[in-house]
Amino acid sequence: MPRPRRRTDPAADLSRTLVAAIEANTATVSVIGQGYVGLSVAAAAARAGMRTIGVDLDADRVASLSSGQQVVPGVDDELFVEAFATGRLGFTTDPAVVGDSDVVLICVPTPLIDSRPDLAAIEGAGAAVGRYLMPGTLVILESTTYPGTTEQVLRPLLESHGRVAGADLLLAYSPERINPGDHAHGFAGVPRVVGGLTEHCTAAAAAFYGRLVDIVHPVSSCRAAELAKLLENTYRLVNIALVNELAQLCADQGIDTWEVIDAAATKPFGFQRFEPGPGVGGHCIPLDPAYLTWQSRRDTGRPFRLVELAKDINDQMPSYTARRIMDSLNRRGIAVKGSKLLALGVTYKPDVGDVRESAAIQVLAHLSSWGAKLSFHDPFVTSIDEHGVKLRRRRLTEDLVRDADAVILLTPHATYDLDEIAGWSSLLFDARNATGRRDHPDIEVL
């Protein structure tokens, strides 16, 4: 009696074929979006041995990157240089390259508009990818978003030309985990979370990231991976809010906030150090938790109360910081109106040239509205035109510092000689305790 023929699973065959190509370095990769997320993963894929094409709508950015100029803030320069030197990293504005790709990553912005997620970039990228996609391709979404986006928003766009995700198309989600300016945690050293539409999708995506990073952590679904990303940054938002409110309490009671934090941090378990500041900024911490609170209200009708409260506390920190600066001036008999204030550092974090959601600029906006005469220096920023503040960078000199009624250290870049600046200043307001000199008569710390 003849043996029955073994039925094969087309999706399993696609996954095995793709994994073999990835392991043999014959897979071609396209990365849609060449911001700091897309360019970083494109460079990592090229460095790992895969032919990689970065796709972006910005023709000037594409031209610069194609000539070997690293023009994207937040991308590790060494990673880009190494990848470009391989000759495997190219750039284009034409999404049709997706048709020749085995792996397609979507790394596009997902901002908030009126506190609601704006998925227009994902929708546009999904439509473009769906137009050119070939059967057997693995598509991975990396953009931060709420749970369900990969399956409910991206999947229909990819399937609009007759393909079926999970059958003749592999689909997964893997949240980016890049910390711009953090040289201690390079791209390869940060584990990757991966969740696919099916187990075969997850296996293929895990194989791809396994070539780029040391550790891959698979989860059961796209939704689990999407929510893991939101949890990471919501955790940070909540704990930053805790120490920001603690700083206000300590100021009211005459207690040294930083002494309290230093003491608590000596505990070897059950405590992780977070530090207060003028507010949160960047694309992740201010925005990612808002996806969570928005979805909770939309899908369950319940507010995510702890997260919403934490956001409110952090949102108040720029105005609180500005009031603390005003109080410091008042104690020296200087009115904020007409005072000459020099701000040092206006990016959202040290040693990164990114002003998105920068709390430092919001602090300046409050001071400007009260009549202060502002100037600023930042090694990464040549001009400001946000929140009603329009300024051009000044050259940082001893005369500029001495001429100011107060120097406001908002973002302590490594290039600043803080001892020298403190010596020149009649009053230095240190919003980050970067000087560590809280007992100095001419230094005040948030």
- Identify the CA nearest to 146 among candidates 173, 177, 128: 173
> Quick check: 155 and 221 in contact, CB under 8 A?
no
CA 318 from chain center: how many Å? Answer: 20
36 - beta bridge partners? none
Q: Is 172 helix (H, G, I), strand (E, B) or coil?
A: strand
Dihedral over alpha carbons 380, 382, 385, 389 (to 10 degrees): 90
**β-strand 170-173 against 192-196: which pairing, if any?**
antiparallel
CA–CA dist 47, 214 (Å, integer)? 14
CA–CA dist 163, 130 (Å, integer)? 9
> Quick check: 28 and 92 in contact, CB under 8 A?
no
CA–CA dist 335, 328 (Å, integer)? 10
> Quick check: 361 and 431 in contact, CB under 8 A?
no
Q: Is 317 helix (H, G, I), strand (E, B) or coil?
A: helix
Kindly state the DSSP code that residue 117 receives in the 8-state scheme. E
CA–CA dist 254, 241 (Å, integer)? 20
CA–CA dist 32, 63 (Å, integer)? 16
CA 49 from chain center: how many Å? Answer: 26
> Helices 199-210 and 10-23 meet at what angle, rounded to 10?
0
Count of other CB atoms within 10 angstroms of residue 1: 3
How buried is residue 185: exposed, middle or buried, by Cβ count under 10 Å (0-12/13-18/19+)? exposed
**Biggest alpha carbon distance in the chain?**
103
Q: Is 255 helix (H, G, I), strand (E, B) or coil?
A: coil
> Is 107 in the active site?
no
Token pair of 217 as six digits: 């952590």
- Of the candidates 201, 222, 250, 284, the residue annotated as catalytic is 284
100 - beta bridge partners? none
Residues annotated as catalytic are 284
